[in-house]
Amino acid sequence: MFALIMAIENEEDREKAAALYKLYCGTMLYIANSILKEPHLAEDAVSKAFLKIIHNLEKIKTIDCYQTRGFVVIIVRNTAYDILRQRNRNKTIPFEEYMVSSISEEPVLDKVSAREACNKIAECITKLNKNYSDILYLKIEMDYSYDEIGEILGISRENAKMRMSRARKALKKLLRKEGDFVD
């Protein structure tokens, strides 16, 4: 990562990138590892996410604030989910594992159905307006309060609550449209 930071031509941007990396590297690695569950993949996600952050340095005004932390969290989270989706597309189940799981008391169909449902919801969330997908993530996954979300996104508490309500409605509508949601 040091070589990447040193490749930045503008001294001010280079210092900003180094400070961001120093401050948020641990958080980024923790988030990526909690999603991917494999340290080497988490490191890849952090590297890719940091590249995206470097390309958007002009959007960062203050390094140590809720907005910047939220920005970093959203980028590394989305990057980790992208890597996870890529891995899951190429995943095959060995025949022996399939046979063992089909003989067990728990039906394979239920595991697959639950996994498919989660994947479908995650896929629908990625299709939502970015404002909606980000607020769903910050509220549900990161468990931020509406006050904290307001600070991160630079909006009022009431606006955060309204955006969350609209995000839920949009997600339900999209799931209904795709035939995966029944009231």
CATH assignment at residue 30: 1.10.1740
The mean pLDDT of 43-56, rounded to a whole number, is 90
Among 91, 125, 157, give the residue marking a domain's end: 91
Does residue 178 share a domain with residue 124? yes
Does residue 172 share a domain with residue 137? yes
DSSP category for residue 19:
H
Q: How many CB atoms lie within 10 A of CB 169?
A: 11
The mean pLDDT of 102-114, rounded to a whole number, is 51
Does residue 45 share a domain with residue 3? yes
The fraction of the chain above a pLDDT of 90, given in percent, is 33
Helix (H, G, I), strand (E, B) or coil at 104: coil
Q: Structural domain of residue 145, as residue ranges? A: 100-183
Does residue 1 share a domain with residue 87? yes
Residues 6+ apart with CB under 8 A from 52: 75, 79
Q: Which position has the higher pLDDT, 182 or 106?
A: 182
Count of domains for the chain: 2
Structure tokens, 118: 């989660």
Does residue 28 share a domain with residue 87? yes
Among 33, 65, 91, give the residue marking a domain's end: 91
CA distances from 89 to 86, 93, 97, 111 (A): 5, 12, 18, 17
**Number of helical H runs and strand E runs in the chain:** 9, 0
Q: Is the pTM of this model over 0.85?
A: no
Does residue 87 share a domain with residue 16? yes
